[in-house]
Amino acid sequence: MDLSSPVLPATLLEQTALRLGCSPTDRKLAVQLDEEDELKHLRECFCIPKVKDLPPTDLSLVNGEESCVYFAGNSLGLQPRKVKTYLDEELDKWARTGVHGHFNGRRPWALADECIVDLMAQLVGAQRQEVALMNGLTVNLHLQMYAVESQLRLHGLDVEKSMLMLQPRQGEETLRTEDILAVIEKEGDSIAVILFSGVQYYTGQLFDIPRITKAGHKKGCLVGFDLAHAVGNVELHLHDWGVDFACWCSYKVFSQTTMKALRRKSILLTGYLEYLIRHYYSEDKTNPEKPFVKIITPSQIEERGCQLTLSFSLPIKSVFKELEKRGVACDMREPNALRVAPVPLYNSFHDVHRFIEILGSAIASSKQTANNTALSGSY
Amino acid sequence: MDLSSPVLPATLLEQTALRLGCSPTDRKLAVQLDEEDELKHLRECFCIPKVKDLPPTDLSLVNGEESCVYFAGNSLGLQPRKVKTYLDEELDKWARTGVHGHFNGRRPWALADECIVDLMAQLVGAQRQEVALMNGLTVNLHLQMYAVESQLRLHGLDVEKSMLMLQPRQGEETLRTEDILAVIEKEGDSIAVILFSGVQYYTGQLFDIPRITKAGHKKGCLVGFDLAHAVGNVELHLHDWGVDFACWCSYKVFSQTTMKALRRKSILLTGYLEYLIRHYYSEDKTNPEKPFVKIITPSQIEERGCQLTLSFSLPIKSVFKELEKRGVACDMREPNALRVAPVPLYNSFHDVHRFIEILGSAIASSKQTANNTALSGSY
Ligand SMILES: Cc1ncc(COP(=O)(O)O)c(C=O)c1O
Ligand SMILES: Cc1ncc(COP(=O)(O)O)c(C=O)c1O
């Protein structure tokens, strides 16, 4: 199975199912895809929580001994097994040498950033001297925003009025690249700094970083990106693209493989999730009773990372709660988004298949509750 | 031995020695002071490095199995034994529940600051709602400085010219409170913000925070402090003193006792160190050959914390190196300061006595080297 080919995930899934003589929805397909997954060994490098250990689990509904379906890796990833070893090494150094740890040992604390700056530079496609590791992302984002706002004020401008915020078109959920480029073309001469996210945290949309950067530069703007959800998720070439500045979360990163290989698996894994959701939960106008799921994230592979953002025809809080009771870790965002992120480092095709099964009973249970509420409301 | 009395450390030391029938320089005094130390049990709560584990140690000069003399607690304190237990608990939570750790367990990460905000507020004498725990100190200091500088620029002022920096008088090492107050009185009407350190990192001088704050307020200034070296070192009452803002290092802090008790021991411990240094290394104008040690830190108890800053009649790098070879951890600062900080949490009077003994051989060895160099220079 050659994933570097431009074959679409749906086509690949159907071809493989055909080869196996089963439906693309069959568990067999998941098993086969896992077997052929060249990154499957990486799962062993992480601590996968058990269903019974997740606080919201309802043990009357599921087997607590199973591994959970962990689709929250876009928020906080699972713990690499080596973390404890590394931390113990540093604690031991502190215990045995105190302040000398700053400049001694395998990872001198005062130079701690230098130990991973090469890895980091490679991950974002930058040169070593272009990358600085410092602070938490929240701090860096605020520093960035503060700099923008204080520049506006310095020039006597009103912050509210002078910050141009883009919105999707009426009735749409994500931004069109053509609209972004049109605004830059039209307003660029009066814009100093363009600040965009790489992967939008709510919708999962991946923006066209090189085109936005190029368009901004043509107008003499500085162009920067908040890459919180993009780093370690999609391939980046910040240097070649000429991006002026960017910040992201260092703790979402892991070595052991290449971004190219991760992205290849990621495209198929998320494609598989999309395929099954569409198969079971597309809207059916002829059957308005049937619950459906809408995928807010763009369907084009180039416009997304690993995350799919879902909205439901049923109350989202209920669906989320039912999923959590059954050992799924994912992430709900107001007003109406469920973020599910199968990550290629440790999530399997089997995880996706199990998620879809569990989603079935979560939706059934939510529908039941909704019906009961409607019924009791009519008394 | 009542340390809350206004008796000076020197008097107390001499009285105790008299009672023991020994000289104040006798090791017996150190032993007795440790015995009477009501905080001596706290030493057991920390990992005390062994001499052989400190990288600069020269095992031909000292017994590697002994505990080191750790006088660098003003920089990085020793590891509390409980740290490993606490970290293991959080690592375990992450391994077993992933992202659920944000809002579950004994210390939910998303609310982690709230677990110690009361302790912290108490330590600095502030009210709970006046304290926010965030970032590293370096970040907070830079945010503070950036705010000051951008305010100056906003008002069209030159940063270099508009920031008034105080300097000690010619020939003096520390600032006089009268001089600080005089500048505020004279220039206050054109000052917006007064920013001071609590304990100055180089000289160890403790400033009169309440008086400086009051003087600033009288002139309508905001008054803030960098308390990096003051918190956990001296008693603070930020709320009662009306200090407008302050920042410090959270990791220098430990509970288990009160700041009052710590300070009481600290005064005697540092007083003992000062007493012995003066006894052995005061300048003797009649004997210019004799090496001497100058204490830069003010001798008044109210004007210092635990740290003494020393300068030497011999090359400081050499003295520092010889101390380090012999299992002392302390801290050298350019151009000419050795910072030694016996901290009351885990340092003993015996540590001070051993330091003085080791200082003797470090000075002798440095003098020898200096003489040899001078000699070889004259060939
Ligand atoms: C979009 C986004 N912003 C901010 C943060 C917070 O980052 P930090 O905890 O490093 O400040 C995260 C972390 O997941 C994030 O995903
Ligand atoms: C005076 C002073 N400034 C800055 C720092 C650095 O603090 P952090 O590592 O939390 O940024 C320290 C730490 O010891 C300090 O003592």
* pLDDT digits 0-9 by tens, B142-190: 777 777 777 787 788 887 788 899 999 999 999 999 999 999 999 999 9
Ligand 2 centroid – CA B199 distance (Å)? 13
Q: Quick one: pLDDT at residue A296?
A: 97
Q: What is the mean pLDDT of residues A311-328?
A: 97
Beta-carbon contacts of A136 under 8 Å, excluding residues fewer than 6 positions away, are A249, B135
A277 touches chain B (CB under 8 A): no
The minimal CB distance from B94 to the residues A70, A79, A135 is found for A79
Task: Give the least confident one: A315-324, B57-66, B243-252, B327-336.
Answer: B243-252
Residue A54 Cα to chain centre, angstroms:
21
pLDDT at B3 over 70: no
Q: Is the pLDDT of residue A4 over 90?
A: no
pLDDT of residue B2: 43
Q: Give the H/E segment covering residue B15.
A: helix B9-20
For residues A223-240, give the mean pLDDT: 95
Q: How far is CA A342 from CA A81, A197, A259, A275, A330, in A?
A: 19, 20, 15, 14, 10
Ligand index nearest the alpha carbon of residue A251: 1
Ligand nearest to the CA of A99: 2
**Which chain B positions have a beta carbon within 8 Å of A88's beta carbon?**
84
Burial letters B19-46, b for 16+ CB under 10 A, else e: eeeeebbeebbbebbbeebebeebbeeb
Choosing among A100, A134, A149, which should be mutated to test the B contact, i.e. which has the most B CBs within 10 A?
A: A100
Mutate-to-test residue for ligand 1 from A135, A137, A247, highest number of ligand atoms within 8 A of CB: A137
Per residue in A13-38, is it b (16+ CB within 10 Å) or e — as a string? beebbeeeeeebbeebbbebbbeebe
Ligand 2 pocket, residue B145 CB under 6 Å:
no
Per-residue pLDDT tens over the stretch A128-154: 999 988 877 877 877 777 777 777 877
Average pLDDT in chain A: 92
- Residue B330: what pLDDT? 97
Distance from CA of A205 to the nearest CA of B (A): 22
Contact yes or no for A98 and B49 at CB 8 A: yes
Q: Is there a contact between A72 and B104 if contact means CB atoms under 8 Å apart?
A: no
* Average pLDDT of the segment spanning A183-193: 94
Predicted confidence at residue A112, as pLDDT, reads: 86
pLDDT band for position B60 (cuts 50, 70, 90): very high
Tell me: pLDDT of B379 over 80: no
At residue B254 the predicted structure's pLDDT band, cuts being 50, 70 and 90, is low
Q: Where are the beta strands (DSSP E) in chain B?
A: 69-70, 193-197, 222-226, 245-247, 293-295, 308-312, 328-329, 331-333, 337-340
Least confident residue range of A23-32, B257-266, B369-378: B369-378
pTM of structure:
0.89
User: How much of chain A, in percent, has pLDDT values that exceed 70?
Assistant: 96
